Chain A
């Protein structure tokens, strides 16, 4: 084992015998571009709705519930996909979330939520995980579209205007998800949940 490691280490440290420096640098550069492009493309594919609802767990539960809500169908035809709310848009956090998502592959392999009953049983846990995530990142994914700066409080009803304008001044530590739970999927049994 050690012998083989040492062999590869020496091979890596030795100057190239057959290939020119130009081939190695340019080739490495090109291979890098192809690798990076391929990686990002694959990453973006996992961000599409087709990918998410490719599994029946996601298609027959959260996706069906989303369909009734304003985030799926509305007057102006702007809509949010799974990844718009569930995956951060900037790179670092996106990679972090993607690494977390490897657990979901595990869940898929072992059928953790592959029946409506199992999904219902896990609904609270799954919902709470998303609420905590959004609470921790100050509802970042909501704010990708819904900006306080662009909200016309005069067009909102008085109660909403008050809630939104005090949240804007930074009084209290409220964020979107504190009030707007269950806007895109059905809520779990909220009996034991402090709101």
Chain B
């Protein structure tokens, strides 16, 4: 009996030891979720703040969907109602002081202009997003078009 207890105890200690050993719980790959091990649940990073200042940003290239310079927390955009169009629709834009959605949004897939924003362009946040003070998850070496042109011109002149 004593022997059995001793064996069981050593076995359970061994199991605890192996569970904590690096081979069974390797460190997580340092991807978007840094540090810790695969088995460990880390703290969630703080949620990036909503933009407070209304500041319209320059587009980096002509076809870039303009970014949203205000908070859109809780905006309802579904089959029943589109909160964005409350201010950005053709009729409301002037009184709301908001830019009207561009005419391309009224075109259907055959480039026929319709009376309302077409279903294909209805869900604003598919292209337009607000900016936050969050740090970029991955680095980007994107250069705006002007910078590319200026650089090209400089190289030509050399």
Contact surface of A with B, Cβ cutoff 8 Å? 68-70, 157, 159, 182, 186-190
Contacts and interface: CB of A to CB of B under 8 A. Distances in A.
Given A157-B54, A159-B96, A69 B74 contact: yes
B76 A159 contact: no
B8 to A, nearest CB: 49
Contacts of A190: 80-81
Interface string B80-95: 1101000000000000
Nearest to A190: B81
A122 to B, nearest CB: 13
A159 B97 contact: yes
Main secondary structure of the interface of A (DSSP, over half): loop
A28 B120 CA distance: 72
A125 to B, nearest CB: 14
Interface size class of B (residues with CB under 8 A): 10 to 19
Interface of B: 54, 73-74, 76, 78-81, 83, 96-97
A188 B54 CA distance: 29
A188 B78 CA distance: 10
Given A182-B81, A182-B83, A186-B80, 8 more contacts: A68-B74, A69-B74, A70-B74, A159-B97, A188-B80, A189-B80, A189-B81, A190-B81
A186 B80 CA distance: 9
Contact of B81 (A70, A159, A187): A187
Contacts of A69: 74
A11 B83 CA distance: 67
A187 B96 CA distance: 20
A182 B75 CA distance: 10
A186 B54 CA distance: 26
A186 B79 contact: no
Contacts of B73: 70
A186 B97 contact: no
Contacts of B97: 159
